[in-house]
Amino acid sequence: MRAVDIIIKKRDRQELSRAEIEFFVKGLTDGSIPDYQVSAWAMAVLLNGMTPQETTDLTLAMAHSGDVLDLSGLVEIAVDKHSTGGVGDKTSLVVLPVVAACGLPVGKMSGRGLGFSGGTLDKLESIPGYRVDLTTEEFERQLQEIGLVLTGQSKNLAPADGLLYALRDVTGTVQSIPLIASSIMSKKIAAGAQAIVLDVKVGRGAFMKDLDQARALARQMISIGELAGRRVVTLLSDMNQPLGNAVGNALEVREAIVTLQGGGPADLGEHCLHVAAHMLVLGRCARDLESARRMAVQAIASGAAFEKFCLLVEAQGGDVAFVHEPQKLPQAEFVEVLAAERAGYLSGVDARVIGEAAVALGAGRLRKGDPIDHTVGFLVHARVGDRIQAGQPLITIHANRGTRQAKVRGALQEAFEWSDDVVRALPLFYE
């Protein structure tokens, strides 16, 4: 078999066989297929799609590119969650410690930033020392010892996804249902999840722009889960405006810490409680969503969730002093507040524009392997539906010398859309 023939076949809209997909995934994992061929193939998939069978074959091939964990001897039921990607989406940093504090162990494999959307691993690396490359043995030991793991793809765990993911980030090949579904589900299967809550984001700051696309992605992931014998719940949530206030790595970690301590923006807190409640029900820790939600609220109020987060950071080599005093996390040199140039109701806060502006400041990558700047980003002070006075702060920019602060300033003003009439707030969840 030759990689070029597989690229041509996909370019010509033909269905790839399981053997061809396995050959391609093996080649991208062992490096015998170079980045330029993997990128060309990813673009062909983005343009021409994949059949459900191809998507399932790709998922399983990527899941089996490294170890596939069997956690049945370690935990009663392995429950996991994953978001399809958004702006300001620091949900995992809050939900996982909450759920673990309620007695449900969680071992999760997250991703880095992808296009305009942030990534949990990049956020966690704002904490000096935090390791995201745990080995299989470390993953299993930590899950047993503290009931919480938050790591990334590694040489042992879903390496094919790690490699393809880094290329998709910088080649315009993120927005593809088969590539997203296989990327997410391969990580979940490799990490041994038996039950999975998928937070499918929909809107301007998501990869799925409307509910039809989001439903199609959700269905695809549910059917992969069924074939692999995993239980899957999908939630369709809003991503037209950023979630919470903070966008950017260290800023988001700080906001997650405040939320775990019982503060933080209301929308983020509510979103996290809802996702956590679904995980607790799926993990048979609670009878119904109402009692699960009460457990999650209590885990935050008692300080148990924050304590779990500290244990997680310590276990993965992070300096927990930065969690106890988040103001010590790395900070940008310049802070500038943009104020409203007019009065009115906000009818839009374009999450995509804000996400792209964060990448332009250095919060994301333009080339594979680029270092990122953990300090830069924004605090968004207003939400759709708010009544705003002229001069009221809309957004605070955190930037460093040499970043394109002036360029993003104009784009950010455009991200805010206005109406003279009352505008309804956006829902957190659609379905």
Active-site amino acid positions: 82, 161, 168, 183, 187
Residue 91 makes contact with ligand URA by CB under 6 A = no
29, 59, 84, 126: which one contacts ligand URA (CB under 6 A)? Answer: 84
Q: What are 335's strand-pairing partners?
A: 398
Tell me the closest approach of the beta carbon of residue 52 to ligand URA, in angstroms.
17
Tell me the closest approach of the beta carbon of residue 111 to ligand URA, in angstroms.
4
| Vertex 89: Cα angle to 81 and 86 (nearest 5) | 95
Q: Nearer Cβ to ligand URA, position 157 or 384?
A: 157
Query: Which residue's Cβ has the minimum distance to ligand URA?
Result: 183
Tell me the closest approach of the beta carbon of residue 73 to ligand URA, in angstroms.
27
Q: Nearer Cβ to ligand URA, position 311 or 359?
A: 359
Tell me the closest approach of the beta carbon of residue 153 to ligand URA, in angstroms.
9
Assign residue 182 a region: left if phi > 0, alpha if psi is -120 to 50, beta otherwise?
alpha
Tell me the closest approach of the beta carbon of residue 42 to ligand URA, in angstroms.
11
Q: What is the DSSP string of 134-178?
A: --HHHHHHHHHHHSEEEEE--SSSSHHHHHHHHHHHHTT----HH
Q: How far apart are CA 337 and CA 340, in angstroms?
A: 10
Residue 358: count of CB within 10 angstroms of its CB: 29
Distance linking the first and last C-alpha atoms of the chain: 44
* Range list of β-strands (E), 239-308: 246-247
DSSP letter at 114 equals: B
Residue span 152-191 as binding mask against ligand URA, x where in contact by CB under 6 A, dash where not: ---------------------------xx--xx--x----
Q: Nearer Cβ to ligand URA, position 112 or 278?
A: 112
Are 401 and 394 in contact, with CB atoms under 8 Å apart?
Answer: no
Residue span 102-141 as binding mask against ligand URA, x where in contact by CB under 6 A, dash where not: ---------x--x---------------------------
Q: Nearer Cβ to ligand URA, position 27 or 111?
A: 111
Q: How far apart are CA 93 and CA 357, in angstroms?
A: 23
Q: Nearer Cβ to ligand URA, position 82 or 398?
A: 82
6, 21, 50, 85: which one contacts ligand URA (CB under 6 A)? Answer: 85
Q: How far apart are CA 332 and CA 375, in angstroms?
A: 5
Q: Which residues bind ligand URA (CB under 6 A)?
A: 84-85, 111, 114, 179-180, 183-184, 187
